[in-house]
């Protein structure tokens, strides 16, 4: 695994030196934003590979290469991150991707001011264009269409220069199938259709329709319709805001039907329905002002307080959430990294993600550190809250950090 400032030697390009500018770690892959030191050739690019802890999974590398080749064969589309070709780095396969200057849909959802329903519809139309193209593109071996399998806000990029939506990570969730504790599914549970969780080999384009519906639902409400694996039960989805226009609500609810036969059959029909709303109901859409979305309760924002306090808060939240996300911007990023280092020393599993928030037209760097308790091995001792203070042997120990 490379770090910022490291040089990457690519076997296919001898003599060129690529320098890592940024490292983005996701649930299944890792992306290195690089530039060529001499500033000639490709300029900036993104190199994507499987995370080191997934490479050892049986068949993961072969599936990664197959899905990457399919992504490359999609060719060029304005709303799809272009996959150029495969290269080899330290005997591991990497995909060379188009570099998109901007942030994810997740970042835009929580930006101020709120994006509003009109912008959500505009973004959704671009996602539909990308997915309709991907689902209808002929592939090698006589196959037609590439499924995404992991549509979610983190896999949708928004270019900062013009607001163009770019869908990324096509099919790569299949590379780590077998690592999940539920069947052999690969993906993100909150966005996965019931059939993708229980019978992943049977999925078709309607599974992507479901994931898109969950994403649109979250754009408008700030939450997903089914928490974790509740989609496998019989409960109804969490209710939409009653002020959401009925036309858009009916589209969302049709996308997230448990029975795939009741969903839209393809993205062309979704796009047509959204265009009809945009053309004939624009006053209704423009009149809907969703409230500013708040980050979920499992987020911890790092500011000026001492590192020990943030470590204490994360440990406390671990009692209620399987994953806690530490977030910091600008000059607080270093403090957040120190929080992460202390959590790692306690046996927590961490994932780092860096990017930029758009704040009133100005890009501000941020870091998100996902801390999971699945491998938590706490040190001996206790920690509890008394009023506004944290007390106990662990609290006393971590106070010494600062």
- Same domain assignment for residues 157 and 188: yes
State the Cα–Cα distance between residues 51 and 225, nearest whole angstrom.
29
Question: How many domains is the chain built from?
Answer: 3
User: In this structure, is residue 40 part of a structural domain?
Assistant: yes
Q: Is 400 helix (H, G, I), strand (E, B) or coil?
A: coil
Residue 273 sits in which domain range? 102-287
pLDDT of residue 239: 66
Low-confidence stretches of the chain (pLDDT beneath 50): 178-184, 374-380, 382, 388, 400-402
pLDDT of residue 362: 61
Could you tell me the end-to-end alpha-carbon distance of the chain, in angstroms, rounded to an integer?
29
Domain boundary among 287, 319, 337: 287
150 is catalytic: yes
pLDDT of residue 65: 86
Indicate which residue of 6, 53, 70, 150 is catalytic: 150
117-128 pLDDT, tens digit each: 888 899 999 999
State the Cα–Cα distance between residues 291 and 252, nearest whole angstrom.
19
pLDDT of residue 259: 92
Query: Concatenated DSSP letters for 241-285?
Result: PTTS-HHHHHHHHHHT-SSGGGS-SSHHHHHHHHHHHHHH-HHHH
127, burial (CB in 10 Å: exposed 0-12, middle 13-18, buried 19+): buried
User: In this structure, is residue 307 part of a structural domain?
Assistant: yes
- Same domain assignment for residues 214 and 75: no
220, burial (CB in 10 Å: exposed 0-12, middle 13-18, buried 19+): buried
- Same domain assignment for residues 71 and 187: no
For the full predicted model, state whether its pTM sits above 0.85.
no
Tell whether the torsion through CA atoms of 101, 4, 24 and 358 is positive or negative. negative
- Same domain assignment for residues 145 and 200: yes
- Same domain assignment for residues 75 and 147: no
Structure tokens at 77: 């589309």
């Amino acid at each position: 695994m490379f770090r910022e400032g490291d040089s990457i030697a690519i076997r296919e390009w001898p003599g060129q030196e690529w320098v890592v500018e940024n490292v983005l770690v996701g649930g299944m892959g890792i992306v290195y934003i690089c530039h060529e030191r001499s500033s000639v050739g490709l300029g900036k690019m993104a190199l994507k590979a499987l995370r080191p802890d997934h490479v050892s999974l049986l068949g993961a590398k072969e599936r990664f290469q197959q899905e990457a080749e399919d992504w490359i064969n999609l060719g060029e589309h304005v709303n799809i991150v272009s996959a150029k070709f495969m290269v080899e780095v330290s005997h591991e396969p990497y995909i060379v991707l188009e570099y998109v200057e901007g942030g994810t849909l997740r970042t835009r959802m929580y930006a101020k001011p709120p994006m509003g329903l009109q912008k959500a519809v505009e973004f959704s139309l671009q996602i539909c264009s990308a997915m309709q193209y991907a689902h209808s593109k002929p592939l090698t071996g006589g196959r037609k269409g590439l499924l995404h399998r992991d549509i979610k806000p983190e896999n949708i990029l928004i270019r900062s220069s013009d607001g163009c939506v770019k869908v990324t990570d096509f099919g790569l969730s299949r590379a780590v199938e077998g690592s999940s504790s539920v069947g052999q599914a690969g993906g993100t549970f909150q966005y996965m259709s019931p059939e993708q969780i229980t019978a992943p080999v049977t999925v078709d384009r309607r599974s992507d329709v479901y994931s898109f519906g969950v994403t649109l639902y979250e754009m408008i409400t700030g939450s997903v319709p089914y928490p974790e694996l509740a989609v496998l039960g019989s409960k109804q989805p969490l209710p939409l805001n009653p002020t959401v226009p009925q036309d858009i609500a009916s589209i969302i609810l049709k996308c997230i039907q448990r029975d795939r036969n009741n969903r839209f059959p393809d993205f062309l029909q979704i796009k047509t329905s959204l265009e009809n709303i945009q053309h004939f109901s624009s006053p209704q859409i423009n009149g809907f002002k969703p409230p500013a979305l708040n980050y979920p309760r499992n987020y911890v924002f790092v500011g000026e307080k001492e590192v020990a306090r943030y470590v204490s808060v994360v440990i406390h939240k671990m009692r209620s959430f399987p994953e806690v996300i530490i977030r910091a911007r600008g000059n607080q990023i270093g403090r957040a990294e120190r929080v992460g280092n202390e959590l790692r020393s306690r046996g927590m599993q961490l994932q780092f993600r860096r990017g930029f928030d758009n704040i009133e037209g100005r890009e501000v760097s941020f870091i998100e550190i996902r801390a999971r308790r699945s491998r938590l091995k706490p040190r001996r001792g206790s920690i509890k809250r008394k009023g506004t203070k944290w007390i106990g042997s662990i609290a006393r120990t971590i106070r010494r950090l600062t």
